[in-house]
Amino acid sequence: MKLRIANCRLRNWTGALGAGMYVLGLVALAVVSLQWVACSPLEDENTAGVKLTVLKITARDAQGQDSDWLASDVVRVDPQTGQATVLEDTARVDFRNDFLNPTIEPSPLNDVIVVRYRVEYFRPDGQNRPGVDVPFPFDATTNIHVPVNGTGSGAIVVVPAKAKLEDPLWGLRFTGREREILAYALITFFGHDLFGRNVTTNARLEIHFANWADQQ
């Protein structure tokens, strides 16, 4: 009887050891898996140890006026000559780049370069068909340097001139159709730190499209 008890205990101890080694193996596998995920470059996701934030967007319309929202004039007519001109609308974007790890000192390699952006338009009434209800989305390049734990600024195009020669903005020139379109531009910025790790952020700008009265 004593011998059987001893064997039982030995088997239980051996089983516990095997179970423990199995659990340790799972933990090691999980750690390796997490390290692989953390090191995988994923497009359009933040993989850097910094946070890029848009502090402010200051719109500039075709008349050169700055504002927190954009009055986009679909056509400008010279009151003296009657010549029609279509101009793009731009904005100034102020960024901040915050280092996320408080236990170590950042380096210049944690600086961020914003290299491109995408503009998409949405209406609050839910009518969002590109080329019918809102202008087509577009992508553009830029080169804005934002130092780590600092700020940086740059200019972007919010409404290209080409969009004003296409529906629905083209139709705002004429009576009998919509007189004004209220929309929001969702602007997504893509960049990277100097290690090559991706950084993204976005912001929204209110836009009022219309055939605004031209200044004399």
Q: Which of 189, 200, 43 is nearest to 117 (CA)?
A: 189
Three-state secondary-structure class, residue 1: coil
**What fold characterizes domain 50-210?**
Immunoglobulin-like (2.60.40)
Q: What are the domain boundaries of the chain?
A: 1-40, 50-210
Which pLDDT does position 159 carry in this prediction?
97
d(CA 203, CA 129): 21
Is the previous residue joined to 137 through a cis bond, with omega within 30 degrees of 0? no
Give 98-146 pLDDT, tens digit per residue. Answer: 999 999 999 999 999 999 999 999 999 999 999 999 999 999 999 999 9
Which pLDDT does position 174 carry in this prediction?
82
| Total residue count of the chain as it appears in this document | 216
Spans of the chain below 70 pLDDT: 1-45, 62, 175-177, 215-216
